[in-house]
Amino acid sequence: MLETFIVLLQADTLAGAYWKSREFLFFGLGTLTSLILFLFAFCRPMMWLYVAGHELTHALFVLIFRGRVSKVHISADGGHVMTNRNNFIISLSPYFFPFYSAVAIVAWALLEWTVAEVSRPDPIWLYALIGFTWMFHLAFTLWMIRRDQPDVNQNGRIFSFTVIFIANVLLICAMLIVASPTATFRGFGLSLWENAKTLVSRFVESAYEVYSMLPF
């Protein structure tokens, strides 16, 4: 999957000159602004916002899996959700679901719907919002995942890290496909399938080459 992502990035973003577009520029400005704030203006309100997004994501996925949320506690020092249902997707959802990006997209859709007959806002600002909120999600995810997180530990660290990594790569691929004028989900799926079919044979070939280079 990582190979497919790299091919997608190279073919539809770099080679396709999408990185020169206004959409990519505003997305980049949003991510850069968010990263600067995280690195140089970290504060308790930002931590509270992260915890709020984290716990509300848990609550959202509990509801998706038809569970019941009885309490949501949020503070800058931490939070928790009381529920009658849990699984590894609910536990790990805050590490791969960018809650505030989803909020930004829904809010933008409502804004466009309410002002449709007046004047539509320039969509480049949506790209900036998505860039800002996605980097907020990514920066805090990388920062928090290095700490002792019960959500990660209860499912096993190797399994949890694998799920989080795959889900985030798929998310980035989806954003590239939606934003790129040339990439498609069908093309990505076909490329992923072709790479998966040859993965074992390529791995065996590489292992044999390494073995043949050994001095014994």
The residues spanned by each domain of the chain are 19-183
pLDDT at res. 33: 96
- Beta strand 69-75 with 78-83: parallel, antiparallel or unpaired? antiparallel
Which alpha helices (H) appear in 41-123, and where do they start and end?
44-64, 88-92, 99-114
When pLDDT is averaged across residues 45-52 and rounded to a whole number, the result is 94
Structure tokens at 178: 């939606």
Q: With pLDDT > 90 as the criterion, what percentage of the chain qualifies? A: 40
CA distance 3 to 181: 21
- Higher per-residue confidence, 20 vs 123: 123
- CB atoms under 10 Å from CB of 56, counted, come to 19
pTM over 0.75: yes
- Give strand pairing partners of 79: 74
- Higher per-residue confidence, 57 vs 111: 57
Q: Is the pLDDT of residue 207 over 70?
A: no
24 near 179, Cβ under 8 Å?
yes
- Higher per-residue confidence, 101 vs 24: 101
Least confident of 57-61, 141-145, 176-180, 208-212: 208-212
139: pLDDT confidence band, cut at 50, 70 and 90? Answer: very high
Q: Is the pLDDT of residue 100 over 70?
A: yes
Place of tokens 């480049």: 124
When pLDDT is averaged across residues 203-214 and rounded to a whole number, the result is 54
Q: Which H or E run includes 35?
A: helix 22-40
Q: Is the pLDDT of residue 38 over 60?
A: yes
Segments of the chain assigned E as strands? 69-75, 78-83
Q: Is the pLDDT of residue 211 over 90?
A: no
Least confident of 10-24, 101-115, 127-141: 10-24
Contacts of 85 (CB under 8 A, 6+ apart): 62, 65, 66, 67, 68
| pLDDT (tens digit per residue) in 123-136 | 889 889 999 999 99
pLDDT at res. 74: 94
| pLDDT (tens digit per residue) in 153-200 | 888 888 988 889 888 888 877 777 666 666 666 665 666 666 666 655
